[in-house]
Chains A and B, each alone.
Chain A
């Protein structure tokens, strides 16, 4: 029998660990606090273990994999798809880091500009005008109108 190690196995393993942690944490709690975490955690660990074993050892009937949910596109060449997946993940987390570094108000136009220019390879007119739109939008709606507390980026703390 062949053992598959794929995302399905790893994800169910992660859920087993998570459920296990919940059960472990509940050991230190009074009964009423711990009851629900245990009632939920125990079947979670068992079922996730079953799912893990099924994914690792079993083959799956095609139709059974159909969740009531959408499926990722399969039209794109797997190698290209993988590269694009990592790219967008990088950009998304990059956005977060940019926000933390330079603050929301600057990160937004910067991100829009960089994405349009580097990924979209758009012309200057589109890039600059859309960047301006995003900047005005942030400044007017979220800063001036709603007064959201945007933490200043870490970079600025170097100067003060």
Chain B
């Protein structure tokens, strides 16, 4: 009798995690996705896409809601996820992939540590590209280097890829460009290209794609993350004329491999994190989601949690002197 009790107890203990986190953990609950931006941008669109399809892959079919926590290029959202959100698996968040650079360069106001978050993975990767108008004679990077007059590149401001990417290429790959910051959004830069106020712009490939397809601009350089259609373009770090430049370009573009990162607060029970990771891995293969994603022009390419964390660590392991160099050229901002 006694022995039987002990055995039952033993099995009961074994079962507890399954009861607590297994079959119905999300039953009747609400999963909140904290987005570091207002509606109307890529981060919000991806979150809503996931929110639509994720519930069926979570035990108990929870409701998923999106909470916007905009500000400081999503640092506010990331700080909240790190320091304030409850680690019960009911809150997860998404933030700018460049936040790892902000942590590396110790931007004022950063209180999160990305390596301590419970990573879920990234929904997509994206490459930065530098594009110029198709009616201009520049077809290769060499053309840009040899340009007699500087090629004018429109940008929003320091801290965005529209500014940092061409600025680093100018510094380390010797392309002859003049960067004009001050446009209120990357959409505004696009319009400036239409009216020939500027000759080109840099930015994420996915966001410029409609304009490349329309024949307005052509891409000349890409970063290391490979997207099939632009596989053949030269990669920025290979164009660098110095080892230092190569290293800095590589670090700037590394986070692009986890362009749409998702993570849960530090200390989220491993069982729940496992459920979330599996659900993300499955939902990103889901046919309906992929169909919606294609319609909405939101490319999906899941990167696992382990891989994401590895990339984050890779960026953060830079020695202090390299960090100083990077901070000189990349100023994380809004």
Contacts and interface: CB of A to CB of B under 8 A. Distances in A.
Interface of A: 147-149, 151
Contacts of B69: 149
Interface in B8-54: 32, 34
A interface secondary structure, majority: loop
Interface in B52-76: 65-69
Nearest to A152: B84
Smallest CB-CB A-B distances: 3 pairs:
A147-B65, A149-B67, A147-B67
Contacts of A147: 32, 65-67
Nearest to B84: A151
B179 to A, nearest CB: 13
A147 B69 CA distance: 11
Nearest to B66: A147
Contacts of A151: 84
B34 A149 contact: yes
Interface centre among A147, A148, A151 (most CB of B within 10 A): A147
6 contacts: A147-B65, A147-B66, A147-B67, A149-B67, A149-B69, A151-B84
Interface residues of B, number: 8
A104 to B, nearest CB: 14
Which of B34, B68, B69 has the largest number of chain A CB atoms within 10 A? Answer: B68
Contacts of A149: 34, 67-69
A149 B34 CA distance: 9
DSSP class of B's interface residues: helix, strand, loop or mixed? strand
A113 to B, nearest CB: 28
Contacts of B68: 149
A154 B259 CA distance: 35
A148 B39 CA distance: 13
A43 to B, nearest CB: 23
Given A147-B65, A149-B68, 8 more contacts: A147-B32, A147-B66, A147-B67, A148-B67, A149-B34, A149-B67, A149-B69, A151-B84
A140 B174 CA distance: 58
A148 B35 CA distance: 12
A151 B67 CA distance: 12
B17 to A, nearest CB: 23
Contacts of A148: 67
Nearest to A148: B67
B76 to A, nearest CB: 11
A149 B67 CA distance: 6
B168 to A, nearest CB: 19
Contacts of B84: 151
A8 to B, nearest CB: 36
Interface string B198-241: 00000000000000000000000000000000000000000000
A133 B69 CA distance: 27
A151 B34 CA distance: 13
A149 B32 CA distance: 10
Nearest to B77: A149
Contacts of B32: 147
Nearest to B33: A147
Contacts of B34: 149
Nearest to A145: B65
Interface in B133-157: none
A150 to B, nearest CB: 10
Interface in B67-116: 67-69, 84
A151 B69 CA distance: 11
A65 B310 CA distance: 67
A152 B34 CA distance: 16
A151 B65 CA distance: 16
B183 to A, nearest CB: 15
A13 to B, nearest CB: 31
Contacts of B66: 147
A149 B36 CA distance: 12
B89 to A, nearest CB: 17
A6 to B, nearest CB: 39
The residue among B34, B65, B66 with the most chain A CB atoms within 10 A of its own CB is: B65
A146 B32 CA distance: 12
